[in-house]
Amino acid sequence: MSVKQHRRLYLPLATAAVVGLALTGCTGDIAASSSSSSNCADYASYGTFKDSPEVKIGGTIQDVEADRLVNSWADFQSCTGIKVTYQGTKEFEAQIAVLAEGGNAPDIGIIPQPGLFNKLAAAGFLKPAPAAVEANVDKWWSKDWKGYGTATDGKFYAAPLMASVKGYIWFSPAEFKAKGYEIPKTLDELTALTAKIAADGDHKPWCAGVGSGDATGWPGTDWVEDFVLRQAGADTYDKWVTHKIPFNDPAIVKAFDSAGAILKNPDDVNGGLGDVSSIISTQFGDAGLPILDGKCSLHHQASFYEGFWKKADGSAVTVSPTGDVYAFLMPPVKAGGDQAVTGGGELVGAFKSSDAITATLSYLSSDTWANNRVKEGGVISANTGLDPANASSDLLKQSITILQDPKTVFRFDGSDLMPGAVGTDSFWKGIVSWLSGDSSQKVTDTIEASWPKS
Amino acid sequence: MTTADLLGKIIQVVGALAAFALVIGLLLFLIDRAPKRGRDYWQLTFFIAPALLLLLAGLIYPAFRTSLLAFTNSSGVYVGAENFVWMFTQPAALITLGNTLIWVVVVPTISTAIGLGYAVFIDKSRGEKYFKALVFMPMAISFVGAGIIWRFIYDYKSGGNDQIGLLNQIVVWLGGQPVQWLQTSPINTFLLIIVMIWIQTGFAMVILSAAIKGVPTEQIEAAELDGTNAWQRFTNVTIPGIRGSLVVVITTISIATLKVFDIVRTMTAGNFNTSVIANEMYTQAFRAGEQGRGAALAIVLFLMVLPIVIYNVRIMRKQREIR
């Protein structure tokens, strides 16, 4: 072989070697750990399984959250002998119906929103929940929550898993203390507080932003949902999201107007960001930050906003009742009345049935699981057996207390319950045109017209 | 993933490639050994079959299914022409159709005009290569990239704050108040159109510049001897000489413009009355979960592109006949 031919071989060989070396970087080489140090007494009721049957779970949860989820059933696996495998993908929502139709769905699905759950249950893909799961849900969850796992045929299919709370209003405890502002207990007090901060004059009271790429508008839907639930009540809210009353019902128009009294009032917005039109162009993640500079006092956003706070110089922001920022729940109409909150959460449904699947479902609906998962950090659950002390932050503890309060009325985020053509399209677009100047009546009329007829 | 998993995957890939090579090799071998009688037909069939199969699976079947989907609602029930009724009655959908028409009229005309003018002016000038490269460079930027770049140019910060956007900074320098460019209808549609023109002008310029060089010098010289001025030479000699290229450029840009999606999606996501058919098609089918409406929009888009493609093909065929 001549030297030239040798050389011809070198390049591909070298490339292959480099690629091979680079790819080994992708490997983790984590040995499967089998820590059986934990106490298996908690898991005795689920039984033990001989030849380690496999239960496959699918969902949208990914990355760190997925790792924490997997950790939450480590002891369950080692004590019962069931091998639980989890696969998280962003495509889960789009793919699950297709997979179920082909008989390729995972054993258990963590369904991220009730709209999808209803579709799957109506199509007959889900198995009714085993008796043990239903007993757990009756024991640990409120009626509201059980209702979201019950399909239109009246059968109970899916237990709730985790939860999140929307409708928080963020503020600076230091500013409130220095200026003598009180946390409002009613919507009227909130209006009075807004007027007071505006009258004090050194900055606009509210900052808001609904920008979110192609999902621009959704933070505004939370405003409207919060007002509908508080002013018109849970019954009207339920009728609204299921289209038993039209979208342009007077109660809904009133909620738009109430939200607009703040969001579309140039005296009240947009602290540190510009005028009313800047609400649309401001990204929701940046919208609350002027609170840290004292250019704004109040910001409406869900509990997850805890992770978004950052100072311009990169130093940490403390979220606590005495820290840099904290949040109170948007108040009810009447003081001392029942709290009403909107929020989100997952539902756990089974596509197949077996003893191992039943055991896994029962574990996921138990207080043991809720405590195990919340201890891992970052999330909460509405499970009443959950000890708030296990939560990883003050705000999460407060959220758990709110969710566990038997007097709290909980409703799912309305836009998740509406058909996609409204909940993830015309409602968002409606918020944008409403903030651009269209009247509440015109916007609700347009959204009503877009509601799919069949 | 462990090292063992990785090795397994590499072996899978190598195995799959080897199997592919084996199948192809076998096919070629068999074709070679095909019976003498009608060997041409055997070979033709074998060579064209893979392409035909892929076309069937990747183009014809999806097109057929999309056409069926256009007459169903989100749960797959037949609803007749309801999706088309929606498209031509809902104010938001009508704006989408109108915007698409504006795009397809403005973008090909202006980018071809600018490209042609530029090509004529720099023709045979010193440094022509560099002038060409300058205008051609935006072609190399993806639509999404261009959208992000121009979104920064149109960026808005309220009065008193430092402006990030070039356009608003110029307005402030001239003593004006910053404008929410992308939220102000109808100017926002034209601001998006500028991005498309910025990209497509380079394409028009390169093709037309090559065509201009192909116009025979004899004709130009003959016209000069006849005493024509530069403008007359341009309209009576150059333009007829490059007519074919002009048509190709205009139709190609028209088709690209009808399909524009990335620019609108990255810059306004179709809000503020800037949506176009391709963007609305995606939004309806994949965000709102209304596959029927998405499919109906796709069909209308197809019907709008079709005549342009047919015209393009006919012109090219006619040219071939002349040659």
Q: Which residue type occupies A114?
A: P
Q: Which of A275, A429, A450 sits opposite B158 (nearest CB)?
A: A275
What was the ipTM of the complex prediction? 0.73
Query: Residue B270 and residue A30: Cβ atoms within 8 Å?
Result: no
Separation in Å, CA A45 to CA A40, A52, A108, B110: 10, 17, 20, 75
Using a CB–CB cutoff of 8 Å, tell me whether A98 touches chain B. no
Task: Give pTM, 2 decimals.
Answer: 0.79
Contacts of B63 (CB under 8 A, 6+ apart): B302
Q: Which of A20, A30, A281 sits opposite B183 (nearest CB)?
A: A281
Euclidean distance between CA atoms B221 and B217, whole angstroms: 6
CA A217 to chain B, closest CA, distance in angstroms equals 10
pLDDT value of position A99 = 86
Domain A168-341+414-450 falls under CATH 3.40.190.10: yes
Q: Are A230 and A187 within 8 A, CB to CB?
A: yes
Which residue in A has a C-alpha nearest to residue B3's C-alpha?
A27
Q: What is the pLDDT of residues B304-313, one digit of tens each?
A: 989 998 988 8
The 3-state DSSP class for residue A87 equals strand
Using a CB–CB cutoff of 8 Å, tell me whether A424 touches chain B. yes
3-class SS shares of chain B: helix, strand, coil, % to 5: 75, 0, 20
Using a CB–CB cutoff of 8 Å, tell me whether A217 touches chain B. yes
Report chain B residues whose CB lies below 8 A from the CB of A217.
Answer: 271
More confident residue, A35 or B102: B102
pLDDT value of position A337 = 73
pLDDT value of position A15 = 67
Q: What is the pLDDT of residues A328-337, one digit of tens each?
A: 999 998 887 7
Separation in Å, CA A5 to CA A14, A151, A169: 15, 70, 72
Is the predicted pLDDT of residue B3 greater than 80, yes or no?
A: no
Q: Which residue type occupies A54?
A: E
Is the predicted pLDDT of residue A289 greater than 60, yes or no?
A: yes
DSSP output for B40-105: HHHHHHHHHHHHHHHHIIIIIHHHHHHHHHTTB-TTS-B-TTHHHHHHHHSHHHHHHHHHHHHHHH
Interface test mutation site (partner B, options A281, A293, A415, A447, max chain B beta carbons within 10 A): A281
Q: What is the pLDDT of residues B198-215, one digit of tens each?
A: 999 999 999 999 999 988
Burial of B200 (0-12, 13-18, 19+ CB in 10 A): buried
pLDDT value of position B153 = 93
Q: Which residue type occupies B155?
A: D
Query: Residue B6 and residue A29: Cβ atoms within 8 Å?
Result: no
Q: Phi then psi for A85, rounded to 5 degrees?
A: -115, 140
User: Average pLDDT, stretch A227-252?
Assistant: 93
Q: Are B297 and B277 within 8 A, CB to CB?
A: yes
Q: What is the pLDDT of residues A254-272, one digit of tens each?
A: 999 999 999 999 999 988 8
pLDDT value of position B63 = 92
Shared fold status for A42-165+344-409 and A168-341+414-450:
yes
Query: Residue B270 and residue A214: Cβ atoms within 8 Å?
Result: yes
Contacts of B278 (CB under 8 A, 6+ apart): B258, B259, B260, B261, B264, B301
Residues 256-275 of B with CB under 8 A from A: 265, 269-272
The two three-digit tokens of residue B300, written as one number = 């209308």
Domain A42-165+344-409 falls under CATH 3.40.190.10: yes
Query: Residue B289 and residue A421: Cβ atoms within 8 Å?
Result: yes
Which residue in A has a C-alpha nearest to residue B72's C-alpha?
A454
Query: Residue B183 and residue A429: Cβ atoms within 8 Å?
Result: no
3-class SS shares of chain A: helix, strand, coil, % to 5: 50, 15, 40
Q: What does the mean pLDDT of chain A come to? A: 87
Cis peptide before B188 (omega within 30 of 0): no
Report chain A residues whose CB lies below 8 A from the CB of B3.
Answer: 24, 27, 29
Q: How many CB pairs under 8 A join A and B?
A: 89
pLDDT value of position A5 = 56
Domain boundaries, chain A: 42-165+344-409, 168-341+414-450
Q: In what helix (H) or strand (E) does residue A340 lie, and over which residues does it extend?
A: strand A340-350
CA B271 to chain A, closest CA, distance in angstroms equals 7
Contacts of A126 (CB under 8 A, 6+ apart): A117, A120, A151, A157, A158, A349, A350, A351
Using a CB–CB cutoff of 8 Å, tell me whether B8 touches chain A. no
Residues 21-40 of A with CB under 8 A from B: 23-24, 26-30
User: Average pLDDT, stretch A235-256?
Assistant: 94
Is the predicted pLDDT of residue A39 greater than 80, yes or no?
A: no
Q: What is the pLDDT of residues B252-296, one digit of tens each?
A: 999 999 989 999 998 988 888 899 999 999 888 877 778 888 999
Q: What is the DSSP letter of A40?
A: G
